C-alpha cells in the first residue's frame, strides 16, 4: 500500500497537463492507500489478529470504511459532478458515524473490545457502505462513458481500462472481506490477489491521467452545467404537475433546410482547415470553432448524417489516414496517426480494424501507392 501511495504521489510530476478534478482524486487515493497501510500496521503492532478473529475483525471494521470511502470518492470524483460527490460524501459519512456509534455502544456494554453482537452490526454497516459505493460508481461510469462517446472523439481505451479495474478493485472486498475477516487462512490467499489489483489500479490511474488534455476541462465544466440544468428541471417538474406534462410533450424542433446548409458549410470549412488534426478536439471545441451550438450539431449529426460526432470525426480521420498512406508510403504508422488527429497509434489500429477489419500496415500492403 505504501508503494501504491508512492506511485500516486511521484506520478503527479509526470502528467502533461494538470486536471483539477483528477488531481483531487489523486490525493484522495493517496490518503486511502496510506490509511490501508496504517490499518495493517495497527493490526500487526497491536497483535489484534493474533488475539482472535473477532479482534482482528473489529480493527478491520473500524479502519476499512473511512479509507475505502476515501478511495471510492477518489474514483467517483472523476466520473460525476461535484454536487453528486458531496451527496456521496454525506451518505458514507453517515454510515461511518453509525459504525462508530455501534462500537461505542458495544464497548460500553461489554467493557472491553470484545463487543459481541455489535461487531456484526458494524460489519453489516460496512458491507452496506461498500455496496452503496460500488453501485454509485458503476452507474456513474456508465453515464460517463455515454457522455464521452457523445462529446469526445479521443481514444476511449484508457478510460475503459481504468473503469474495468476500478470495478474489479471495488468488488474484490465485497466478495473477499466477509469470508476472510473471520477465517485467516482464506485471507492469506485472497490478500495477495487484492494487493496486486491495487497495484494494477494505481498504474491504470496514472495512465488515465497521462491521457488527459487541457480540453478535458471543457467537458467537465459542460457536464457540471448539464447536471445543474437537469437538477433544476427536475425540481420544477416535481413542484408543478402541469410543467411535467408540458415538458414531456415538448420536442426539440427539427433543423430547417437553411440551418442545415449553414452547419454543413461550417463543418466543410473546418475540415478544409484540417481541424480534425487536433487529437484533443471535442464537441464543445468544434462548437466554439465554427459558431454552431452543441445542440444543433448533435441534431445535425443525428438528423442529417444518421451518425454521431465521434463516428463522423473518426470517418474523416480514417479517410485522411488512407489518403496519406497512399501518398506517403514511407511514413510510419506513428506519423500517420499524429498527422491525422488520432490520439495514439493504437487508436489508429482500432479504427482500421473496425472499418476494414485489418491493420493499417496490412491495408497499406494491399493497396498500391500513388508514388510522389
User: CA-CA distances (angstroms) from residue 198 to 91, 242, 282?
Assistant: 25, 51, 32
Separation CA 35–CA 333 (nearest Å): 45
283 versus 369: which is more confidently predicted?
Answer: 283
Q: pLDDT tens digits, residue range 1-33?
A: 999 999 999 999 888 888 888 999 999 999 999
Task: Single out the residue of 209, 167, 210, 165 nearest to residue 21, CA to CA.
Answer: 209
Across the chain, what does the average pLDDT equal?
84
Asked if the model's pLDDT at residue 193 lies above 70, the reply is yes
Q: Write down the pLDDT at residue 339.
A: 92
User: What count of Cα atoms within 13 Å lies in the side-chain half-sphere of residue 298?
Assistant: 13
Q: Where are the alpha helices (DSSP H) in the chain?
A: 2-10, 20-46, 48-51, 53-79, 82-110, 118-151, 157-180, 184-211, 216-239, 241-249, 257-272, 283-290, 294-303, 309-327, 333-339, 345-356, 360-365
Mean pLDDT is lowest, of 209-218, 309-318, 337-346, for: 209-218
The mean pLDDT of 339-349, rounded to a whole number, is 89
C-alpha to C-alpha distance for 207 and 166, rounded to whole angstroms: 13
Q: Span 51-71, mean pLDDT?
A: 87
Query: Is residue 238 predicted with pLDDT exceeding 70?
Result: no
CA separation, residue 243 to residues 69, 227, 263 (Å): 38, 19, 32
Instruction: Say what the pLDDT of residue 274 is.
Output: 92
> What b-and-e string marks burial along 311-331, b requiring 16 or more CB atoms within 10 Å of the CB?
ebbbebbbebbbeebbeeeee
pLDDT score of 372 more than 80? no
Look at residue 213 and tell me whether its pLDDT is greater than 70. Answer: yes
Cβ within 8 Å of residue 157, ≥6 positions away: 346, 347, 350
Asked whether residue 142 carries a pLDDT value surpassing 60, the answer given is yes
Alpha-carbon span 77 to 31, nearest angstrom: 15
pLDDT value, residue 76: 92
pLDDT tens profile 310-321: 999 999 999 999
Rounded CA separation 311/299 (Å): 14
* Long-range contacts, 287-291 (Cβ 8 Å, 24+): 290/266, 291/266
- Dump pLDDT digits (tens) for 103-133: 999 999 998 888 989 999 998 999 899 889 9
Confidence category of residue 188, pLDDT binned at 50, 70, 90? confident
CA–CA distances in Å: residue 327 to residues 200, 314, 339, 367: 41, 20, 13, 11
Q: Which distant-in-sequence residues (6+ apart) come within 8 Å of 57 by Cβ?
A: 119, 123, 181, 182
Query: Burial, 120: exposed, middle or buried (Cβ in 10 Å; 0-12, 13-18, 19+)?
Result: middle
Region at 30 (left for phi over 0; alpha for psi -120 to 50; beta for the rest): alpha
Q: How far apart are CA 147 and CA 221, in angstroms?
A: 13
Give the C-alpha separation, 56 to 250, whole Å.
59
Which one is predicted more confidently, 361 or 189? 361
Question: d(Cα 168, Cα 36) in Å, to the nearest integer?
Answer: 18
Question: Helices 53-79 & 82-110, crossing angle to 10 degrees?
Answer: 170
Cα–Cα distance measured from residue 201 to residue 171, given in angstroms and rounded to the nearest whole number: 13
Residue 243, pLDDT > 50, answer: no
Residue 33 · residue 8 · CB < 8 Å = yes
pLDDT of residue 242: 39
Instruction: Give the predicted TM-score (pTM) of the model.
Output: 0.81
How much of the chain, in percent, has pLDDT values that exceed 70? 86
Name the band, by pLDDT with cuts 50, 70 and 90, for residue 83.
Answer: low
What is the structure's pLDDT at 220? 72
Cell match 433543423: residue?
A: 255
pLDDT at 369: 58
Angle at 352 between CA 310 and CA 283, to 5 degrees: 10
pLDDT-based confidence at 215, cuts 50/70/90? Answer: confident
Amino acid at each position: 500500500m505504501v508503494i501504491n501511495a508512492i506511485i500516486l504521489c511521484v506520478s503527479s510530476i509526470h502528467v502533461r497537463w494538470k486536471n483539477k478534478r483528477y488531481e483531487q482524486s489523486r490525493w484522495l487515493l493517496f490518503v486511502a492507500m496510506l490509511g490501508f497501510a496504517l490499518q495493517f500496521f495497527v493490526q500487526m503492532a497491536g497483535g489484534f489478529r493474533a488475539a482472535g478473529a473477532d479482534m482482528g475483525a473489529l480493527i478491520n471494521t473500524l479502519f476499512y470504511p473511512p479509507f475505502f470511502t476515501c478511495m471510492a470518492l477518489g474514483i467517483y470524483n472523476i466520473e460525476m459532478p461535484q454536487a453528486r460527490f458531496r451527496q456521496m460524501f454525506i451518505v458514507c459519512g453517515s454510515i461511518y458515524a453509525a459504525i462508530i456509534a455501534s462500537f461505542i455502544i458495544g464497548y460500553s456494554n461489554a467493557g472491553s473490545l470484545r463487543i459481541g453482537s455489535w461487531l456484526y452490526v458494524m460489519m453489516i454497516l460496512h458491507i452496506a457502505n461498500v455496496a452503496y459505493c460500488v453501485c454509485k460508481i458503476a452507474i456513474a461510469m456508465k453515464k460517463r462513458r455515454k457522455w464521452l462517446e457523445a462529446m469526445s472523439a479521443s481514444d476511449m481505451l484508457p478510460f475503459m481500462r481504468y473503469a474495468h479495474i476500478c470495478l474489479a478493485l471495488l468488488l474484490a472486498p465485497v466478495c473477499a472481506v466477509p469470508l476472510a475477516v473471520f477465517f485467516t487462512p482464506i485471507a492469506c490467499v485472497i490478500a495477495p490477489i487484492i494487493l496486486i489489483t491495487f497495484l494494477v489500479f494505481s498504474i491504470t490511474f496514472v495512465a488515465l491521467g497521462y491521457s488527459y488534455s487541457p480540453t478535458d476541462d471543457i467537458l467537465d465544466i459542460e457536464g457540471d452545467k448539464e447536471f445543474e440544468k437537469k437538477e433544476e428541471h427536475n425540481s420544477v417538474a416535481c413542484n408543478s404537475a402541469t410543467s411535467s406534462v408540458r415538458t414531456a410533450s415538448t420536442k426539440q424542433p427539427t433543423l430547417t433546410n437553411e440551418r442545415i446548409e449553414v452547419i454543413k458549410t461550417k463543418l466543410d470549412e473546418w475540415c478544409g482547415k484540417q481541424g480534425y488534426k487536433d487529437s484533443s478536439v471535442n464537441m464543445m471545441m468544434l462548437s466554439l470553432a465554427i459558431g454552431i451550438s452543441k445542440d444543433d450539431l448533435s441534431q445535425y449529426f443525428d438528423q442529417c448524417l444518421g451518425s454521431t460526432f465521434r463516428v463522423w470525426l473518426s470517418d474523416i480521420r480514417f479517410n485522411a489516414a488512407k489518403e496519406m498512406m497512399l501518398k506517403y508510403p514511407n511514413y510510419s504508422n506513428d506519423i500517420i496517426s499524429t498527422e491525422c488527429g488520432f490520439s495514439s497509434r493504437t487508436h489508429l489500429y482500432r479504427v482500421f480494424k473496425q472499418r476494414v477489419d485489418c491493420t493499417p500496415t496490412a491495408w497499406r500492403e494491399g493497396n498500391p501507392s500513388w508514388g510522389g
